[in-house]
Amino acid sequence: MSGVKTWLAGGVAWLIAIVNFFPIFWMLLASLKTEVEAVQTPPLFIFHPTLANYRDIFALQGYAGYAFNSIAISVLATLLMLLVAVPAAFAMAFYPGRYTRDILLWMLSTKMLPAVGVLVPIYLLSRDLGLLDTRTALVIIDFLSNLPIGVWMLFTFFRETPKDIIEASRIDGANVGQTILYVLLPLVAPGIASTALLSVILCWNEAFWSLNLTAHNAAPLTAFIASFSAPQGLFWARLSAASVLAIAPILAFGWISQRQLVRGLTFGAVK
Amino acid sequence: MQRDGHSAARVRTIPLIAPSVGALLVWMIVPLAMTLWFSFRRYNLLNPMLTGFAGINNYRFLLRDPALPSILVITVVLVLAVMVLTISLGVVLAAIFNTGFPGQGIARVLMISPFFVMPTVSALIWKNLLMHPVNGLFAGVLRSLGFPVIDWFSSFPLISIIIIVTWEWLPFAFLILLTALQSLDEEQLEAARLDGAGTIAVFFFIQVPHMARAISVLVMMETIFLLSIFAEIYVTTAGGPGIATTNLPFLIYQRALLAFNIGGASAAGVIAIILANVLAALLIRTVARRLDV
């Protein structure tokens, strides 16, 4: 492409990218203002930044507890998912059978069930099992809703690993366990890591079940932030500080794993 | 072939696959069966005396609800509007970003960031910091330019929701389409250019068809996710004003968790499931016919 066109495309792309990112940047600015500055009209672009809001959300709003819930739920749901998905993906990628394709497609089809269609039974089951407002309920739900994505993503990674290497190690006398541990695992570790990262991102940002199934004890950050929606116009700066902290780690994860993310979210159809 | 058969015989794969299949089977069938069952029951959490078989009364009551048609329309409009906006903008943006301009990597990071912002945070950024009729940035800008201020959520409630959700999902469409575009064979492009195809012709006749597969995947994924849009509405408009932004998920939430009408909410849940599958099937068929050359 000619130089002028590239520069033109670049200019347009940068402009759109900046506009697109602006709401996040604006929130970052708001988090560094005082409450009065945050609601000031006309909007304030130049001000003396303060970190007071970040201190306040820990001191006054109990931010740490909600952050702990988010971390605990995301990590446990992801570990559980990997524990179940890795063997399945391994088996289907390395020892495909007559039904492998059908099983994979069926797993994909479970995503066709919209969450809202099963809100009532899940709510009632959680209530009857005493799991309302517990981290356990969200761990189980996040684990199950990410399981199909996990199996698919791992399957596409495993499938790209050369099969011969397994045969070779078996011929050399290694048993299945040794083959997996010493030969296969180092090869597929990056794929497992990206799958884990995607799962953490999805769990962290999950809002539908968090809002409907938690109250105070198990509320993760998604639900905590929503609680700011009630008092109109109050605490914008503090809300922004809480929001910035809530999205920062996931933004970083997302930036790192852009490419693998595409593979996971399209069930391997685009990579 | 024989070697594969040999390996398969030596390694029993069923124990490895069974936990996944079992977990998903339970996860799919139990709630689905319960929703179906409750949808034919008289069941209200506030009135334990009310029990028994309701026949099709829950459905009849729901279908006769004068609000239902507009709720269904709002649900579908929200899905379609966001889908059309994200995919069409995404296709164009992917083509622009594919040119390899200076700082492309950073611009792309800025572009995809909104996707990683949790829905409740996105909704509150827009509701408070941007669209608020008094203190929001948009109001401030309009006022300083001498224009009347817009009260977004009361004047254009559904459009406001569409804007927010589009902002969240455009990065998803963009990233997937860009990835698809980057797998396009450079030689094919070169050949087309040698044959005299300009930027526009390359875009419509080579790049867009190349993205067809990615587009159909997007259509499917977005149908599923957008049919469950809830947090954005919950945080901003709570379904209002009136029912102007009440979609099926919000209706079910109101019926089940605010009115405790389990039977009625379940009937609405069954309709949501049917709608999801019909819509996805229709859309994917359309996309496949149009684009899979």
Count the Cβ atoms, other than its own, within 10 Å of residue A230. 8
A270 vs B234: CB contact, 8 Å cut-off?
Answer: no
Return d(Cα A267, Cα A218) in angstroms, integer: 31
Residue A166 has pLDDT above 80, yes or no: no
Q: Which pLDDT value is given to residue B5?
A: 44
Domains contained in chain B, CATH given: 60-291 (1.10.3720.10)
Greatest mean pLDDT among A57-66, A188-197, B167-176, B254-263 lies in B167-176
Q: Please give the single-letter amino acid code of residue B20.
A: S
Nearest-by-Cβ selection for A95 from B13, B108, B125: B13
pLDDT of residue A231: 57
> Which residue in chain A is spatially nearest to B166 when comparing CA positions?
A20
Residue B285's Cβ-count burial label (10 Å; 0-12, 13-18, 19+) is: exposed
Segment A150-166 mean pLDDT:
84
Q: Is the dihedral of CA B251, B253, B257, B258 positive or negative?
A: negative
**CA angle in degrees (0–180, nearest 5) for A194-A197-A202:** 130
A229 and B124 within 8 Å at the Cβ level: the answer is yes
- Asked if A21 and B249 come within 8 Å (Cβ–Cβ), the reply is no
Q: A133 with A218: CB under 8 angstroms?
A: yes
Distance from CA of A154 to the nearest CA of B (A): 13
Which positions in chain A touch B134 (Cβ < 8 Å)? 41, 233
> Which of A6, A221, A262 is nearest residue B99 as measured by Cβ atoms?
A6
**Partner-chain contact A120 B262, CB within 8 Å:** yes
Return the pLDDT at A203: 92
The string of pLDDT tens digits covering residues B149-161 is 888 888 899 999 9
Which residue type sits at A97? G
Pick from B12, B11, B207: nearest CA to B90: B207
Contacts of A103 in chain B (CB under 8 A): 17, 21
pLDDT at B167: 95
Q: Which amino acid is at A216?
A: H
Please indicate whether, in this complex, the C-beta atoms of A39 and B135 are within 8 angstroms of each other.
yes
In angstroms, rounded to a whole number, what is the distance separating the alpha carbons of residues A69 and A218?
Answer: 6
A235-249, B58-72, B78-92, range with greatest mean pLDDT: B78-92
Q: Which residue has the tokens 């033109």?
A: A8
CB B244 within 8 A of CB B160: no
For range B255-274, the mean pLDDT: 83
Q: Do A116 and B110 touch (CB under 8 A)?
A: no
Distance CA(A26)–CA(A19), nearest Å, equals 11
Cα R_g (chain B), whole angstroms = 24
Closest-CA residue in chain A for B227? A114
Q: What is the pLDDT of residue A232?
A: 52
Per-residue pLDDT, A143: 95
Q: Which residue of B has its CA nearest to A241?
A: B121
Chain A residues in contact with B170 by the CB 8 A cut-off are: 20
Q: Is the pLDDT assigned to residue B293 strictly greater than 60? A: no
> In this complex, do B35 and A7 lie within 8 Å of one another by their Cβ atoms?
no
The residue-averaged pLDDT of B240-251 equals 85
What confidence tier does B292 reach under pLDDT thresholds 50, 70, 90?
Answer: very low
Phi, psi of B53 (to 5 degrees): -80, 130
Q: What is the mean pLDDT of residues A177-191?
A: 82
Q: Which two tokens stand for residue A60?
A: 């006054």
Q: Which amino acid is at A106?
A: W
Q: Which residues of A touch B28 (CB under 8 A)?
A: 110, 113
Report the SS3 class of residue B53. Answer: strand
Q: Say which residues have a Cβ less than 8 Å from residue A255's Cβ, sequence separation at least 6.
A: B109, B112, B113
ipTM of the complex: 0.84
Q: Which residue has the higher pLDDT, B78 or B189?
A: B78
CB B276 within 8 A of CB B286: no
Question: Shortest CB distance from A14 goes to which of B34, B103, B115?
Answer: B103
Q: Which two tokens stand for residue A3?
A: 């130089």
Q: How far is A148 from chain B (nearest CA, A)?
A: 8
Indicate the SS3 state at residue A25: helix
DSSP structure string for B72-132: HHHHHHHHHHHHHHHHHHHHHHHHHHTT--TTHHHHHHHHHGGGGS-HHHHHHIIIIIIT-
Q: Mutation test of the interface with chain A: which of B27, B79, B223, B284, choosing the one with the most A Cβ atoms within 10 A?
A: B27
Buried b (16+ CB within 10 A) or exposed e, B260-284: ebbbbbbbbbbbbbebbbebbeebe
**What does the block give as tokens for A30?**
């708001």
- Picking from B37, B40, B128, B167 by the largest number of A CB atoms within 10 A of its own CB, the best residue to mutate is B128
CB-based contact B199 A271, cutoff 8 Å: no
Search chain A and give the residue with CA nearest B272: A117
Query: Does the pLDDT of residue B9 top 60, yes or no?
Result: no
CB A179 within 8 A of CB A166: yes
pLDDT in tens, A65-112: 899 999 999 999 999 999 999 989 988 888 888 888 888 888 877 877
Taking alpha carbons only, the member of B264, B226, B161 closest to residue A115 is: B226
Is residue B259 classed exposed, middle or buried when 0-12, 13-18 and 19+ CB atoms within 10 A define those classes?
middle
Residue extents of the structural domains in chain A: 61-265
CATH 1.10.540.10 applies to domain A61-265: no
pLDDT of residue B288: 64
Nearest to A250 among B13, B116, B277 (CB): B116
| Cross-chain residue pair B234–A6, CB shorter than 8 Å | no
